[in-house]
């Protein structure tokens, strides 16, 4: 199971890298074509925007898993050191509720917009909202693991 988890997170990192590289190529090619040849790739703007949405949402999942989101813990650590484990569990509960709302709202929007086909790319508009569904589900699993299981330390994987 641990190996599957490691593979999943590496796969997400690879997807983000590929999407970022594709976005860079699309935007660069579009700029060269637009200013050098007075033409351009019309779908590149929409594809870049779609890639950006997916990179941001998957990046948020990765940041949550690694504990790299912005947090101010000095006050709780100094004033309430005995309550810190309880506060961390409470925070994971709040995160779980928040990502459930993200998942539920994004799922409804994905279904509502799936039949809206873009004239430029031919892709469903629901793909933008599907990023919220996938990231909400993945963040929910991270929150559940940290709420009910031991706190995950990504540094342990690097040492193995």
pTM, rounded to two decimals: 0.82
Q: Show the tokens assigned to 28.
A: 């660069």
3-state secondary structure of 117: strand
CA distance 4 to 112: 33
Task: Print pLDDT tens along the chain (160 aa).
Answer: 788 888 999 999 999 999 999 999 999 999 998 888 888 888 888 999 999 999 999 999 999 998 887 777 777 777 777 877 888 888 899 999 999 999 999 999 999 999 999 888 889 999 999 999 999 999 999 999 988 876 545 554 444 4
> What's the pLDDT score for residue 153?
52
CA distance 78 to 90: 18
> What's the pLDDT score for residue 107?
96
**84 CB-near residues (< 8 Å, 6+ apart):** 73, 76, 77
**137 CB-near residues (< 8 Å, 6+ apart):** 103
Task: Find the Cα–Cα–Cα–Cα dihedral 62, 63, 67, 69, rounded to 10°.
Answer: -160
- What is the DSSP secondary structure assignment for residue 81, as one 8-state letter? G
CA distance 106 to 102: 6
Strand partners, 117: 124
CA distance 12 to 137: 13
CA distances from 118 to 43, 104, 122, 145, 159 (A): 9, 24, 5, 38, 46
């Amino acid at each position: 199971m641990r190996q599957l988890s490691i593979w999943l997170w590496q796969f997400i990192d690879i997807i983000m890298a590929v999407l970022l590289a594709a976005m860079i190529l699309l935007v660069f090619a579009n700029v060269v074509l637009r200013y050098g040849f007075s033409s351009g790739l019309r779908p590149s703007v929409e594809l870049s925007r779609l890639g950006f949405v997916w990179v941001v949402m998957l990046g948020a999942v990765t940041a949550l898993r690694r504990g790299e989101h912005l947090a101010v813990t000095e006050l709780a650590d100094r004033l309430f050191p005995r309550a810190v484990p309880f506060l961390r569990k409470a925070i994971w509960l709040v995160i779980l509720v928040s990502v459930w709302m993200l998942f539920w709202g994004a799922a409804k929007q994905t279904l509502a917009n799936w039949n809206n086909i873009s004239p430029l790319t031919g892709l469903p508009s629901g793909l933008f909202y599907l990023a919220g569904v996938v990231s909400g589900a993945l963040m929910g699993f991270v929150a559940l693991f940290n709420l009910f299981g031991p706190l995950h330390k990504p540094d342990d994987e690097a040492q193995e």
